[in-house]
Amino acid sequence: MAAEEIFKALAAPQRQHILRLVRDEPLSVGQIATECDASQQAVSHHLQVLKDAGLVAVRRDGQRRLYLVDPDGFESVGDFVAELWPSGLARLKTTIEDRQT
């Protein structure tokens, strides 16, 4: 779960879209492909990249496989940002507190 791998995974807009789709509820590959208007293979590949980066988790459900956001990868991103953000840590903290209310 290197930082390089995570940021590469986040760099593609399609994968950002997929992450937003599976943020709150687990979805199957077919459902995601329909939402993204992409082929099953393309979505499957994107999910593999996100999974290798630790950004999504998989769960089998019969024939289907349900994908959901995995907090582990995002924790690494948070650590990375906190390391290189010299003076704005308080601002990020404020942003988070605002969203928590």
Partner DNA sequence: CTAAAGCACAAACGATAACTTGTGAAAGGA
Partner DNA sequence: TCCTTTCACAAGTTATCGTTTGTGCTTTAG
CB of 43 within 8 A of CB of 33? yes
Shortest Cβ distance from residue 100 to a second copy (Å)?
6
Binding residue for DNA, selected from 40, 72, 79, 82, defined by CB under 7 A: 40
- Nearest CA-CA partner of 73 in 99, 51, 88: 51
**C-beta contacts of 93-99 below 8 A and 24+ residues apart:** none
For residues 74 to 93, the per-residue mask of contacts with a second copy, x marking binding by CB under 8 A and - elsewhere, is xx-xxxxxxxxxxxxxxxxx
- Return the DSSP state at 29: H
List of residues contacting a second copy (CB under 8 A): 3-4, 7-8, 10-13, 16, 19-20, 23-24, 69, 71, 74-75, 77-93, 95-97, 99-100
